[in-house]
Structure 1
Amino acid sequence: MRQLGIGELAKRVGMRPSALRYYESVGLLPSAERAAGRRVYPVATVRRLALVKMAQRSGFTLAEIRALLDAGADRGATRQWRALAERKLPELDLFIRQTQMLRDAVADCLACGCMNFDTCGLLAEDGPGSRPGEGPTTPGDEA
């Protein structure tokens, strides 16, 4: 079976070797074998790390990911994954809504064209981003 040194594995998955050592210390990766005193990992570790990275991007904690990986391929793992995924979906939906709002705000700033934070109407206290009922609503309402 082909094995990868820690440097080669790190390069393949776009991580630092120190991150791989950390993942090993917290149980996300099994203990590496040693060859001539150096850590070596089976090629299948690339797939495991891809799963870890995907789960992290989805908002799962390292503890949750470790629990899923520890459960392995048994029937309990499928139920555990389903339960975690069902709890995570509302969090992801909220994140998507918040990210879309941020994207829209950036697009509005670009469309405004003023590129001046001091005078931009979008950033004014009574501008489009202000809360209803706060601040003046029409010219001349200022105190």
Structure 2
Amino acid sequence: MTAEKTIDGMRSLTIGEVAKRSGVTVSTLHFYESKGLIASTRNAGNQRRFPALVLRSIAIIKVAQRTGIPLAEIKNALGRYPPNSKLTAAQWREMSSAWRESLNLRIRTLEALRDSLDNCIGCGCLSLNDCPLRNPDDTLGLDGPGPRILEARRGQR
């Protein structure tokens, strides 16, 4: 299929082409669009068309998601620039520095979780008086013995 050109001369891709090139499903692209992360236009036949630059936005979204950045944060960061735009080096530095503290906090949290897992045998609340992962200061122990979190989920609390 030959790519169409938009009014401004930019290459235009179908949703299938974007899915294939970006490695995400069509339903993911619909989801990203519904959340305002990417934008499309419609051609005369009412079919979605995306500028080729959308591939950069999707790459940023995928990398950010892999690092644990929530979609709301990604949208906030990308929302500072026109949809599907090519970020300049300065804009990229600005966006990445805004994520830096969030990522550093996430890293510290993951390191603490990793270091605490050695003391946990799974559910923890059956064998430990104080589970730092799920039951800080043993607050659930005040309700009685056993896996209180699981019982609360089943409405047995």
> TM-score, normalized by length of structure 2?
0.54
Cα–Cα, structure 1 residues 76 and 4, in superposed 2: closer, same or farther, change >3 Å? closer
How far is the alpha carbon of 1:90 from its aligned partner? 2.8
Equivalent position of 2:41 in the other structure = 33
Equivalent position of 1:137 in the other structure = none
How far is the alpha carbon of 1:96 from its aligned partner? 5.9
1:92 maps onto 2:101 in alignment: no
Cα–Cα, structure 1 residues 37 and 96, in superposed 2: closer, same or farther, change >3 Å? farther
Unaligned runs of 5+ in 1: 103-122, 124-130, 132-143
2:18 to 4, 9, 13: 9
Instruction: Indicate if the aligned counterparts of 1:71 and 1:77 stay in contact, CA closer than 8 A.
Output: no
84-93 vs 3-12, which moves further:
84-93
Equivalent position of 2:67 in the other structure = 58
Distance in 1, matches of 2:53 and 2:67, equals: 22
> Looking at CA atoms only, which structure, 1 or 2, has the larger radius of gyration?
1
Unaligned runs of 5+ in 2: 1-9, 82-86, 122-127, 129-157
65-74 vs 44-53, which moves further:
65-74
Distance in 1, matches of 2:53 and 2:24, equals: 16
How far is the alpha carbon of 1:92 from its aligned partner? 2.4
2:55 to 31, 46, 55: 46
How far is the alpha carbon of 1:78 from its aligned partner? 5.7
Equivalent position of 2:154 in the other structure = none
TM-align CA RMSD: 2.9
> TM-score, normalized by length of structure 1?
0.59
Work out the percentage of aligned pairs sharing the same amino acid: 34
How far is the alpha carbon of 1:83 from its aligned partner? 3.8
Cα–Cα, structure 1 residues 70 and 18, in superposed 2: closer, same or farther, change >3 Å? same
Cα–Cα, structure 1 residues 80 and 5, in superposed 2: closer, same or farther, change >3 Å? closer
Instruction: Indicate if the aligned counterparts of 1:59 and 1:92 stay in contact, CA closer than 8 A.
Output: no
Match of 2:33, as an amino acid? E
